[in-house]
Chains A and B, each alone.
Chain A
């Protein structure tokens, strides 16, 4: 993320082509470079700028998707979304999911990466097994886990519990358990991906560092605390940024695993936006929610980057 946010590097002046003055060359290059960027400008205008402006505009009106005369209602939509219980519970669950998956995946992926960074028999197999869930469709995994959690005959978890003589648990029918189930599946599916990310950073640490630390008599814990951990901070920034923004945007997994239920327990903000804005024609309200969503994602990115910068300066 950091590299992208940095302003584009200015190029050193290029070698002079024959028989063209510098000005002519610049002008020619300018026109050519704009021709090359034209497609991406069209993509930006059609798929980003216009829809973004429309979302802002709709959020200030009572547009219902059909009427030709939408009235300007000011910030009314922005106040009603805080009174809509389904939207509030979507906000609540989305936050719980984001914090839960970020914390759990970080706590599991770092040790996993540390283990995968050591040599042992079957290491590649273990890495592939952990990584594979993030290559396949989350939606299909959600559906498969729906069968695994089921209280019916397909329910693996309940039949395992049954061996110990316990009663079957209605994983997806009880609000708190349903939330927990969605998070468990997300952690199961995401840990390998982030472990591989951490692993890439770990492998970039020169082994001489550890040799030197070993010679200086540093204990294993001291090596981790003063050598590995500081060098992992950039990886944590990246991984947690992906987890936080990905968590806020989550849709596939809860939708396919629980359908957002029971009640509104595992409904996500994205599901709220889609159902209100497209199915129910409450375009104004849904747009207000989507604008709030945009601002929230932007704030998290800024906050995370600021925090990362402070952490990096503290540890190194």
Chain B
């Protein structure tokens, strides 16, 4: 009886999951078809394995350029925000007094301010610094994410015994030495979790590049897909192919990092 119930549950849930996955099946299967084939039957299987859409998309669009742009922005901004966030968390942990408490309140305010409220002044500020339409400008904006890093990292640090940090001090190590050779290795698990989480944000972000980037050679991948839709409005297979090319690395990332994504989701939502 119990086994039967489990089988029924399996069948029902796998069917529902199949329906939920249709959009992904749809874009993948249509990259192997020609336009008339799609029109005839959008969900049907292709008549053969034809990868010409892929070579066509790679030939017409600077995908590698956008990929490198996204990678550059991602790596630089994630490194910096983890550094800023973890330094702040360590400073708050060893710090005392009114000023330290003030900085804590500051971070809380920053956490509550929606990006929409600061968008217009930030646009004007970046354009005054000639950083609009540059990848460095995006990095500057993504530094706002160090606040989220700070909250997650300090939450994790508080679970560690303070003696770990203090014993090195008694041995005569300076604060920066302690931070670099003791604190950072100790908090590696949370750095990975936060890093994975923030990488997803930067990689998938659309609003920031859409507002701040105009030149085609500075586009991130997501922005490139968006602008290609206009270009490909009549060439559906090319659009589907581009989407698959951009989504494919995320499938690999998802399989490799699912555990970290889930733990980031849970700690992130509890702490933040």
Chain A residues whose CB sits within 8 angstroms of the CB of B83 once the complex forms: 39
User: Using an 8 Å CB-CB cutoff, how does the interface string of B227-252 with A read, 1 for contact, 0 for none?
Assistant: 00100000010011001001100110
Q: Does B141 contact A (CB under 8 A)?
A: yes
Known: A3-B155, A30-B96. A48 touches B109 (CB 8 A): yes
Q: Output the least CB separation between B213 and chain A (Å).
A: 13
| Cβ-based interface call for B75 (8 A) | no
CB distance from A207 to the nearest CB of B (A): 16
Q: A17-B169, A43-B84, A197-B266 in contact; A48/B110 too (CB < 8 A)?
A: yes
Is A153 part of the binding interface, using a Cβ–Cβ cutoff of 8 Å?
yes
B117 touches A291 (CB 8 A): yes
A19 to chain B, nearest CB (A): 11
Interface residues as binary, B193-204 with A (CB distance below 8 Å gives 1, 0 otherwise): 000000010011
In the complex the two chains form, is A238's CB within 8 Å of B270's CB? yes
Task: Give the interface size bracket for B toward A.
Answer: 35 or more
Q: Is A206 an interface residue (CB 8 A)?
A: no
A196:B40 contact, CB within 8 angstroms:
no
Contact with A along B101-119 (1 / 0, CB 8 A): 1011011111111111111
Q: Which of A81-89, A144-152, A173-181, A221-229 lies at the interface with chain B? A: A144-152
Residue A29 lies at the interface, judged by CB distance under 8 Å to chain B: yes
A107 at the interface (CB under 8 A from B): no
Q: Is the CB of B6 within 8 A of A52?
A: no
The residue in chain A whose Cβ has the minimal distance to the Cβ of B108 is A4
Contacts of A65 in B (CB 8 A): 124
Tell me if B265 and A125 are in contact (CB < 8 A).
Answer: no
Say whether A36 faces chain B, with CB atoms less than 8 Å apart.
Answer: yes
Which applies to chain B's interface (DSSP): helix, strand, loop or mixed? helix
Which of A118, A120, A291, A293 has the most chain B CB atoms inside 10 A of its CB?
A: A120
Q: How large is the interface on A (under 10, 10 to 19, 20 to 34, 35 or more residues)?
A: 35 or more
* Given A144-B27, A159-B41, A47-B122 contact (CB < 8 Å): yes
A54 to B83 alpha-carbon distance, docked (Å): 28
A304 at the interface (CB under 8 A from B): no
Contacting pair B117 A290 (CB below 8 A): yes
Q: Which residue of A lies closest to B91 (CB)?
A: A36
The CA-CA distance from A182 to B96 in the complex, in Å, is 49
Among A1, A33, A46, A145, max chain B CB count under 10 A is at A33
Give the contact stretch, choosing among A72-80, A96-104, A134-142, A306-314.
A134-142
A5 on the interface (CB 8 Å rule)? yes
Instruction: Say yes or no for B215: interface residue by CB 8 A criterion.
Output: no
Judge whether A35 is part of the interface by a CB distance below 8 angstroms: yes
> CB within 8 A of B87: which of A39, A46, A154?
A39
How would residues 219 to 250 of chain A score, 1 for a CB under 8 Å from any chain B CB and 0 otherwise?
00000000000000000001100100100110
B150 cross-chain contacts in A, Cβ below 8 A: 40
Question: B54: which A residues are within 8 A, CB to CB?
Answer: none
Q: Mark A54-74, 1 if CB is under 8 A from B, else 0.
A: 110010000001000000000
Mark out the residues of chain A between 145 and 188 whose CB falls within 8 Å of any chain B CB in the assembled complex: 145-148, 152-156, 159, 188
CB pair A274 B6 closer than 8 Å: no
* Residue in A132, A139, A242 whose CB lies within 8 Å of B204: A139
Q: Are A128 and B258 in contact (CB under 8 A)?
A: yes
Residue of A nearest to B178 (CB): A32
CA distance A23 to B52 in the complex (A): 73
Decide: B13 and A122 in contact? CB cutoff 8 A: yes
Residues on the A chain within 8 Å of B166, using CB: 14-15
Tell me whether chain A's interface is mostly helix, strand or loop, or mixed.
Answer: helix
CB distance from B45 to the nearest CB of A (A): 14
Residues on the A chain within 8 Å of B117, using CB: 51-52, 55, 290-291, 293-294
Across-interface contacts of B258 in A (CB, < 8 A): 128, 131
Going nearest first, the 5 A-B pairs with the smallest beta carbon separation are A36-B91, A153-B39, A33-B95, A51-B118, A139-B206
Provide 27 A-B residue pairs closer than 8 Å at the C-beta atoms, listed in order of the A residue.
Answer: A5-B108, A9-B158, A33-B96, A34-B91, A34-B95, A36-B88, A37-B88, A39-B83, A39-B88, A40-B85, A47-B140, A48-B113, A49-B106, A51-B118, A51-B125, A55-B120, A118-B9, A121-B10, A128-B258, A130-B17, A135-B254, A136-B247, A137-B203, A140-B225, A248-B114, A270-B207, A301-B112
Q: A40-B103, A122-B17, A293-B117 are in contact. List 9 more A-B contacts (CB 8 A).
A: A33-B95, A34-B99, A36-B175, A36-B179, A37-B87, A40-B147, A188-B20, A290-B119, A293-B114
| Residues in B lying within 8 Å of A, measured CB to CB | 6-7, 9-10, 13-14, 16-17, 20-24, 26-27, 30, 38-43, 83-85, 87-88, 90-97, 99-101, 103-104, 106-125, 140-141, 143-144, 146-147, 150-151, 155, 158, 162-163, 166, 169-170, 175, 179, 200, 203-204, 206-207, 210-211, 222, 225-226, 229, 236, 239-240, 243, 246-247, 250-251, 253-254, 258, 261-262, 265-266, 269-272
Give the interface of A toward B (CB within 8 A).
1, 3-5, 8-9, 11, 14-15, 17-18, 26, 29-30, 32-37, 39-41, 43-44, 46-52, 54-55, 58, 65, 115, 118-123, 125-126, 128-133, 135-141, 143-148, 152-156, 159, 188, 192-193, 196-197, 200, 238-239, 242, 245, 248-249, 251-252, 255-256, 269-270, 273-274, 277-278, 283, 286-287, 290-291, 293-294, 297-298, 301
